[in-house]
Structure 1
Amino acid sequence: MTVKLDFEEGLKDSPRFRAEIEDVQNDVSELETRLEKLVKQCQAMLEAGKAYCQTSKSFVNGLRELGHQCSGDKMMADCLEKFSKKLNVIFEAQGEVIETTQKSVRAKLQSFVKEDVRRFKDRRKEFEKSSEALEGALSRNAQAPRGKQHEVEEASNALLNARKAFRSEALDYVLEINVIEAKKKTDILLAMLSLMDAQAQFFLQGHQSLSELDEYRQKLNEEHKQFVLDCAREKRDMEQRHAAVKKKDMSYDDSIMDFNGDAANGIAMEGYLYKRASNAFKTWSRRWFSIQKNQLVYQKKFKDQPTVVVEDLRLCTVKPSFDNERRFCFEVVSPSKCCLLQADSERQQQAWISAVQNSIASAFQERREDTLSPRQRCSSVSTSSLGGGGGGGGVDQENEGCKALEEVQAIPGNRQCCDCGEPGPDWASINLGITLCIVCSGIHRSLGVHFSKVRSLTLDSWEPELIKLMCELGNTVINRIYEARIDEITIKKPNPSSPRGDKESWIRSKYVEKKFIHKLPETGRNPPLRRSSGRRNRATTQIAQRPPLKPKPNRATLPRVTGLSPSDLVQRNNSGFHGDNEEEEEEDLSHLHPGALLYRSAALQNFPVMADALAHGADVNWVNMNDESSTPLIQAVSVNALAACEFLLQNGANVNQADSNGRGPLHHATILGHTGLVCLFLKRGADYNARDKNQKDPITIAVDNANADIVTLLRIAKMNKEMREMDGAFGQPGDETYQDIFRDFSHMASNNPEKLKRRSADPKS
Structure 2
Amino acid sequence: MTVTLDFEECLKDSPRFRADIEVVQSDVSELETRLDKLVKQCQAMLDAGRAYCQTSRSFVNGLRELGHQCSGDKMMEECMGKFSKKLSVILDAQEEVIEITQKSVKMKLQNFVKEDVRRFKDVRKEFERGSEALEGALARNAQAPRGKQHEVDEATNALLNARRTFRSEALDYVLEINVIEAKKKTDILLAMLSLMDAQAQLFCHGNQSLSELDEYRRKLSEEHKQFVLNAAREKRDMEQRYAAIKKKDVSYDDSMMDFNADAANGIAMEGYLYKRASNAFRTWSRRWFSIQKNQLVYQKKFKDQPTVVVEDLRLCTVKTSSENERRFCFEVVSPSKCCLLQADSERQQQAWILAVQNSIASAFQERREDPHSPRQRCSSVSASSLGGGGGGGADQESEGCKALEEIQAIAGNRQCCDCGEPGPDWASINLGITLCIVCSGIHRSLGVHFSKVRSLTLDSWEPELIKLMCELGNSVINRIYEARIDEITIKKPLPSSPRGDKESWIRSKYVEKKFIQKLPEIGRNPPLRRSSARRNRATVQDRNVQRPPIKPKPNRATLARGTGLSSGDLVQKNNTGSHKDEEEEEEEDLSGLHPGALLYRSAALQNFPVMADALAHGADVNWVNMAEEASTPLIQAVSANALAACEFLLQNGANVNQADSNGRGPLHHATILGHTGLVCLFLKRGADYNAKDKNGKDPITIAVDNANADIVTLLRIAKMNKEMREMDGAFGQSGDETYQDIFRDFSHMASNNPEKLKRRSADPRY
Q: Please say whether Structure 1 and Structure 2 have the same fold, judged by a TM-score greater than 0.5.
A: no
Over alpha carbons, which structure has the higher Rg? 2
TM-score (norm 2): 0.44
TM-score (norm 1): 0.44
